[in-house]
Structure 1
Amino acid sequence: MTENTPSLPVKEHLLKFEPSAHGGLIRKNSQKYAIPESEILDASASLNPFGTPFEYPYTGLVLRTLLDKGLQKMEQYPDNRYLEFKEAAAKFTGMGIRPDNIIPGNGSTEIIRLVAECVVGKGDIVLIPQPTFSEYEVQCRVLGATIKYIRQEDLPDISGDILEEAKMIFVCNPNNPTGKLLNREQVRELAQKCARHHTILFLDEAFIELADPSQGAADMVEGNEYFFIQRSLTKAFAIPGIRMGFGIASSRFAKVLDNARLSWNLGCIADTVSTALLNMEGGINSKYLMDSRDLIKAERDYLMEKLNRRGFKPTESTVNYIYVDISEFSMDSTELTERMAAHGVLIRDCSSFQESGKDHIRVAVRTREENKRILDTIRKVVSEWGSEQAESMLHDNLAKAATCGRLGSNLECDYYPCHFLGQDCTFCFCPFYPCNDERTGGQWIESSGGGKVWSCLYCEMVHRPEVVDDMLSVLTKEGCNKESVKEAWKKAMGTRL
């Protein structure tokens, strides 16, 4: 800003805000990598992999019919009381919830903002366990709150002293991105503790329908004016493009929030579609949602098993996404995410979550066919990265060997264990890979994702000093190219096999 540029008449702390990066990822990556949108698999968004209820005739829901019904009200202002929606949301939730406990919302973010606006003032302390959904912090910072971080694992035993100084605490259950779920008794104890210290507990149950609805805590809000629950319909029903959700609070608290929310925050389409979804027979235990939970469990178990590989440490999850520690992997989360996207598969880089750094990714649980594609793409990316690293290391080692000769043993090699005492590591990154010649000691092994891959684990030939000398006599003279590699194989390996 120059001296002549007038200042903006807004709160100063908002000048440093960045726009939300959520949403539109398929289109953005389609444009970036020139991949048709229809060919991109989005495993970064944690939506119900079972698909929408409109895909299953047994739900009795027809999207076209609902859209036509909603559009009939297009020329009217919505009824801001949202009586049918509240009735349906109360019925869907069960647990003794009544319509006067319900606050209609235009998706999670609007609900977070509403509660924050009604509760938080400038300088108020808001507690946020790490890592968790970033919108809690964003919406509270807009209002000038002071954010204090705590650890997720400290929640069950959080001290009264910490709660005493805080205006509100956000708890995502099951947590995003870790997938961990506090049970009902843990939530009850936390809610009671928060009430004693006059700290509002904002419990985000956006994924509870896809995890374990029996651990929901809606029946605990009445009589506790310091307890608020958020529900999102877009995750459970896989329709994030239609923004809809609702809050649950005691009748007194809910009335204040309902009066304060933006008028007409649900348009005619969202109101009509969401009311129909909430009225689905069986509610939270409808056949559609029970089938969804069964699919998620089976596919989550499959993905957990396949992701548990060298450098990947998946965290046990209760819901439709898996938080994976890749701190021991060769790439950081940003590079891995970018490389996956270039192949048309989107996963979540968790560096935007507090304290995750670049050591974690989140992978959505999808259908079996889609999960296989995720795993195949990971293998492809790892193979490509390994080839790039091998080629780079090979050229570096050849440059050193041109002046120094063989490099000798490298007992601290990060990539392969020592094969035998006195080995030479000039060609730890073998220019012949994959040679597919089992006479070398290499072999075909079963891949974790099915099929076979070539393994050099038991090949020690390129570590023999005499073999290295013969390879160097060709490669340092002619450079490393397809023809010279063939010649080096013939001279160094062919005569010894």
Structure 2
Amino acid sequence: MSEQRSVPLREHLLALKPCRHGGLIQETSETYGIPEGEILDFSANFNPLGSPFDYPESGLNFGDIIEESFGKLLEYPDNRYLEFRKAAARFVGLGVTPQSIIPGNGSTEIVRLVVESVVEKGDKVLLPWPTFGEYEMQCRIVGAEPVYPAQDEVDTLSDEMLDKAKILFICNPNNPTGKLRSREELKALAARCREHKTLLYVDEAFIELSDYSQSVADLPADNDYVFVMRSLTKDFAIPGIRMGFGIASPDMAEILNTARLSWNLGAIANTTGIALLNIEGGIDSPYLKKARAMILEEGEKLKAKLDRIRGFEVGEVNVNFIFVNISKFMLDSGELSERLAARGVLIRDCVSFHGLGKDYIRVAVRTGEENDRLIAAIGEVITEWGREQAKNELQQVIEKASEEGIGGRKTCEYYPCHFEGQNCTFCFCPFYPCENEKTGGKWIKSSRGGRVWSCVDCHLVHKTEIAQKILDCLMQEGDTDELVKVAWKKVMEPIL
């Protein structure tokens, strides 16, 4: 056995596991051979209107930004980022000043900056679960010890727990559940954290797409134990350009601006960020107002359609994504995600969120047409699964009949589902969906709003003499699918 290679890294990093995220378009394209442009992504949560550069009313032109940035490519950015900080403060409002703004290369860099600046190895950090995975990731990198209270336990955290923790992370609205905490809740929590000298880190990455009146961005001004984070990625649907910022007390912000990486916003990100934050109307710009209205309208429509899927328990609509409990659904989160991905539709499998397992998914709210495509794809998956189950059932019927002959299932809790004395050899019809109305079957409206073939008025395969003839065909040597076609032609067509 060869000697295991050692690497000059801190020991606790050797067990570090990647933090899983959505938005895996390229990976999906490579796996399933689907062109990237044909993949519909519900696994990442962005403004459903798309970029403001595609929204004429925004008054923004990306070409102009690139042209302006191009002139700055031969010089280092001004590491003070004065214009960016002024624009961010103006965008947030609430009395926030530029002196409180810390620019960041996306939200993850800001999380890391704060964790590295506050937490030491062995410190406890509070991560109410389930929540955004990067909090845990960045805390583990510095060797912190995560503690996992449930989300509904946050308001009743013990004094002892707060005393021992360096940071309490709150995502508002929470990712992945969509739960929106009120400003009053967070103000009370901030007061407790200040008392116990625990930093309250409030992630408001989605607040502009939700009810921004619940923001606590003003609290850090006179409370060193509150830090608020904002992200431009979600608001403006530009994940390819990493931008965000933190809000802290002026004293804390000054130190964090010294501690952050120098030139962490390149010329394009800096210029783009300034333009976006200076959008006319700011947080109440026509672009963001329309997005919020669209999220509520289309979100409720999508929720209603998801609610009609048997086994789905759908969460509230507070923001541009919906959390769904699928513990009673026929497939777990991994299998459902994979089957949808094979159709070019991505959803977020929530198995990577602490404590959730394979019982939850998260879907973004997109346009009505795109949301309907998601519902249709889920319907296709259900139909596919049903056919697989029917095929498996049919194989079991054939194997059982070869040993015991034709029979019934009068012990079934649903007997008789068609008529008294029916033959139940074929619980699943081997011809489903035959789509032949002469059988008594018909198209009906499904719970998802589409069409589904109903066999409730078809009794043919439950008549003993017909069931026997079908079984005789199916028990011949050959491929089962081909034998089903033969049985239809020999047995069913003459009857119809």
TM-score bracket for the superposition, by shorter chain length? over 0.9
TM-superposed deviation, 1:418: 4.4
The count of aligned residue pairs is 495
TM-superposed deviation, 1:480: 6.2
Distance of aligned partners of 1:16 and 1:76 in 2 relative to their CA distance in 1, 3 Å threshold: same
Please state if 1:228 is matched with 2:234. Answer: no
Number of the residue aligned with 1:163 = 162
Alpha-carbon contact 1:428-1:462 (below 8 Å) kept: no
Letter in 1 for 2:235: A
Distance of aligned partners of 1:347 and 1:83 in 2 relative to their CA distance in 1, 3 Å threshold: same
Unaligned 5+ runs, structure 2: none
Number of the residue aligned with 1:314 = 314
Number of the residue aligned with 1:355 = 355
Number of the residue aligned with 1:341 = 341
Alpha-carbon contact 1:85-1:275 (below 8 Å) kept: yes
TM-superposed deviation, 1:276: 0.9
Number of the residue aligned with 1:367 = 367
Stretch moving more, 263-272 or 419-428: 419-428
Q: Deviations over 1:427-480 (max 9, x none)?
A: 112111112244544321113454422122444443444443332233224556
TM-superposed deviation, 1:278: 0.5
Distance of aligned partners of 1:136 and 1:422 in 2 relative to their CA distance in 1, 3 Å threshold: farther
Distance of aligned partners of 1:441 and 1:99 in 2 relative to their CA distance in 1, 3 Å threshold: same
TM-score, normalised with respect to structure 2: 0.94
Q: Deviations over 1:295-351 (max 9, x none)?
A: 111110111011111111111120011111111111111111111111111111111
Alpha-carbon contact 1:409-1:422 (below 8 Å) kept: no
Q: Deviations over 1:25-70 (max 9, x none)?
A: 1111111111111111111110111011111222211001011111
Alpha-carbon distance between aligned partners in 2 of 1:124 and 1:444, rounded to the nearest angstrom: 61
TM-superposed deviation, 1:120: 0.5
Alpha-carbon contact 1:50-1:292 (below 8 Å) kept: yes
TM-superposed deviation, 1:388: 1.6
The residue correspondences of 1:412-451 to structure 2 (distance < 5 A) are: 418-419=417-418, 423-438=422-437, 440-451=439-450
Unaligned 5+ runs, structure 1: none
SS of the residue 2:218 aligns to: helix
Alpha-carbon distance between aligned partners in 2 of 1:417 and 1:139, rounded to the nearest angstrom: 59
Please state if 1:99 is matched with 2:95. Answer: no
The residue correspondences of 1:81-96 to structure 2 (distance < 5 A) are: 81-96=80-95
Distance of aligned partners of 1:410 and 1:353 in 2 relative to their CA distance in 1, 3 Å threshold: farther
Number of the residue aligned with 2:468 = 469
Alpha-carbon contact 2:19-2:137 (below 8 Å) kept: no
Number of the residue aligned with 1:30 = 29
Q: Deviations over 1:106-135 (max 9, x none)?
A: 101000000000111111001111111110
Alpha-carbon distance between aligned partners in 2 of 1:469 and 1:298, rounded to the nearest angstrom: 54
Number of the residue aligned with 1:327 = 327
TM-superposed deviation, 1:422: 5.4
Alpha-carbon distance between aligned partners in 1 of 2:464 and 2:347, rounded to the nearest angstrom: 44
Number of the residue aligned with 1:396 = 396
Alpha-carbon distance between aligned partners in 1 of 2:24 and 2:130, rounded to the nearest angstrom: 22
Distance of aligned partners of 1:226 and 1:417 in 2 relative to their CA distance in 1, 3 Å threshold: farther
Alpha-carbon distance between aligned partners in 2 of 1:146 and 1:192, rounded to the nearest angstrom: 24
Distance of aligned partners of 1:119 and 1:424 in 2 relative to their CA distance in 1, 3 Å threshold: farther
Alpha-carbon distance between aligned partners in 2 of 1:22 and 1:350, rounded to the nearest angstrom: 9
Stretch moving more, 93-102 or 148-157: 148-157
Alpha-carbon distance between aligned partners in 1 of 2:55 and 2:494, rounded to the nearest angstrom: 65
TM-score, normalised with respect to structure 1: 0.94
Alpha-carbon contact 1:242-1:270 (below 8 Å) kept: yes
SS of the residue 1:179 aligns to: coil
Alpha-carbon contact 2:337-2:346 (below 8 Å) kept: yes
Alpha-carbon contact 1:409-1:423 (below 8 Å) kept: no
Distance of aligned partners of 1:261 and 1:482 in 2 relative to their CA distance in 1, 3 Å threshold: closer
Q: Deviations over 1:355-401 (max 9, x none)?
A: 11111111111111111111111111111121122112211221111
TM-superposed deviation, 1:252: 1.6
Alpha-carbon contact 2:23-2:44 (below 8 Å) kept: no
Distance of aligned partners of 1:472 and 1:445 in 2 relative to their CA distance in 1, 3 Å threshold: same
TM-superposed deviation, 1:494: 6.0
Stretch moving more, 450-459 or 41-50: 450-459
Alpha-carbon contact 2:305-2:449 (below 8 Å) kept: no
Alpha-carbon distance between aligned partners in 1 of 2:25 and 2:406, rounded to the nearest angstrom: 49
Alpha-carbon contact 1:372-1:449 (below 8 Å) kept: no
Alpha-carbon contact 1:178-1:317 (below 8 Å) kept: no
Number of the residue aligned with 1:61 = 60
Distance of aligned partners of 1:291 and 1:490 in 2 relative to their CA distance in 1, 3 Å threshold: same
Distance of aligned partners of 1:207 and 1:24 in 2 relative to their CA distance in 1, 3 Å threshold: closer
TM-superposed deviation, 1:481: 4.3
Stretch moving more, 431-440 or 69-78: 431-440
Counting aligned pairs with the same residue, the percent is 56
Distance of aligned partners of 1:23 and 1:479 in 2 relative to their CA distance in 1, 3 Å threshold: closer
Q: Deviations over 1:263-295 (max 9, x none)?
A: 111111111000111011111111110011111
Q: Deviations over 1:128-155 (max 9, x none)?
A: 1111111000000000000111111112
Alpha-carbon distance between aligned partners in 2 of 1:458 and 1:164, rounded to the nearest angstrom: 67
Number of the residue aligned with 1:174 = 173
Alpha-carbon contact 2:23-2:41 (below 8 Å) kept: no
Number of the residue aligned with 2:207 = 208
Alpha-carbon contact 1:174-1:181 (below 8 Å) kept: yes
